[in-house]
Structure 1
């Protein structure tokens, strides 16, 4: 980025490519409620326009989203309509001020456009999170529970070692500086959306026997290591970081 240029807003043109299969129909009123609650938390000044655009796009005959196609088509139309409404808002109220400098080296038109892009990205991600929530199966929840239970059991065992110490072969005691648990259990759900390639050999590497997704190292990432089907050594290495 050259001096004086505005930073790129990553994700501004993003839209989901894959359709998610809902495990049950999503009621339109319930979806609107979740959307407005999110807007109230993050962008409270936009509640009115979001509600109006939702009602405008939503067909009065549609009381629920039956499947992924209907939901994704609605979300696409909703985001497009919301973007148009945000633009029209400025055009109707401050069209003569579009070139006015609101902050140094930034006119009103550019300033509002970038603010709207950030807002629309938030709305796209919120709708996608809602779709992911509706696509969660009972099997997913059971898998999360299993991995969360394993993580908690390992936490308790290591906490005992760090607190009470463990005897070493030379007769001394090994302990630790302390122990911190940062709700790693919640991380196990991340792997649900990933291809873990559980059939790959333990010695396989990306491009050489392993065709699944990769995850970057995180601090104390034992939950993700468990969910990705890592080896015991890899899981313990995740715990020690």
Structure 2
């Protein structure tokens, strides 16, 4: 399947590492005009060197006012990937206000804010668009020590459906991708214990964690016209985890 995003403006959050970085690179390679957003300037500098032409914005999306200043006038955006996330893990009885607030600020509130900015611009221009939210299998299954993270992703799935409902009449499609563990730096930190990893792998029929490219391929499909009748969906990339 050949995809072509030539000339289309795209914005990717959490583009410094992992899924976001590879998504930004793939969109750039397919001709999109990419704006890459990350809170880590060094990651954006290395991305710019790797992919000359990508525009970078350094901002902590957990800060509402800073995000508004950084992205409020970002220019026309047709394609949006809400990938930025944090995943500090705590047992339920040890959850702190700081972890709760930070997780919901980045994983959910920032998705609302950035999507509002992009959707308002699309509506003002009368242009169609596509938004992909990066959720998780953790939105639909309980995982030990993930009470806050699971909650943010469960909320993201429902947010995706409501966004699709309200933005559909404006020809803006909204979908979510729900991966299993993807061996990004964040996942490696949380799943480096072989015993913990085995317990998860035993629940995945295909018997392996996802590669970043497995997720990026689905993101690209959902951004493309090849998925023009798909909106409000949550698409597992989980090796069958949610089927068990």
TM-score, normalized by length of structure 2?
0.22
Q: Larger % of helix: which?
A: 1
Give 1 or 2 for the bigger CA radius of gyration: 1
TM-score (norm 1): 0.22
More strand by proportion, 1 or 2?
2
**Which structure is higher in RCO with an 8 Å CA cutoff and minimum separation 6?**
2
